[in-house]
Every structure is written in structure tokens, then in C-alpha cells.
Amino acid sequence: QGLDLQTTNGGATVYVPRGYNALLETGTTNGGMRVDFPITVRGSLNRHISTQLGSGGPTVRVITTNGGVRIAER
């Protein structure tokens, strides 16, 4: 199952199951980004990440304006 999470003033932490298959898209305008497990990213890591988790699948989209983004496994 996918997820679409957006905040304007505040950070977001999303926990995905270990071994989860999805397309991960994250971004922030003013804040940091942290992914607590290894991912493969092509290009530069600025304020946006788009990568495949496992074999891909539904989109997990986490976007903030004034706050950080953290993606962790559970």
C-alpha cells in the first residue's frame, strides 16, 4: 500500500516495514532529509530523493515545506 504525506510547518517521520517494496519520493524546501537504511540514488542529493525500495511497488511520497523528512525501517 502506498502513502502520500505532505506538511507545511513541521517535519515528517515515516516507518516502512523491513524489506518493503515501493517507489520512495521525498522532498523538502527548508529542512534536512534522513534515510536510516541504505538506498541507491542516481544524481545529486539535494532536497529531493526518488529511489526504488526493493523491487519497487506503490509510491511512498513524503514532502515537507518547513521541516525535515526521516524515513526509517521498522
Distance CA 9, CA 11 (A): 7
Instruction: Specify the number of domains making up the chain.
Output: 1
pTM of the model: 0.88
Question: According to the model, what pLDDT value does residue 44 have?
Answer: 67
30, burial (CB in 10 Å: exposed 0-12, middle 13-18, buried 19+): exposed
Residue whose entry in the numeric block shows the C-alpha cell 545529486: 44
Residue whose entry in the numeric block shows the C-alpha cell 521525498: 26
Given the DSSP bridges, would you call strands 48-53 and 22-30 parallel, antiparallel or unpaired? antiparallel
Range of the domain at 61: 3-73
Question: According to the model, what pLDDT value does residue 24 have?
Answer: 95
pLDDT in tens, the chain (74 residues): 899 999 999 999 999 999 999 999 999 999 999 999 999 887 667 789 999 999 999 999 999 999 999 999 99
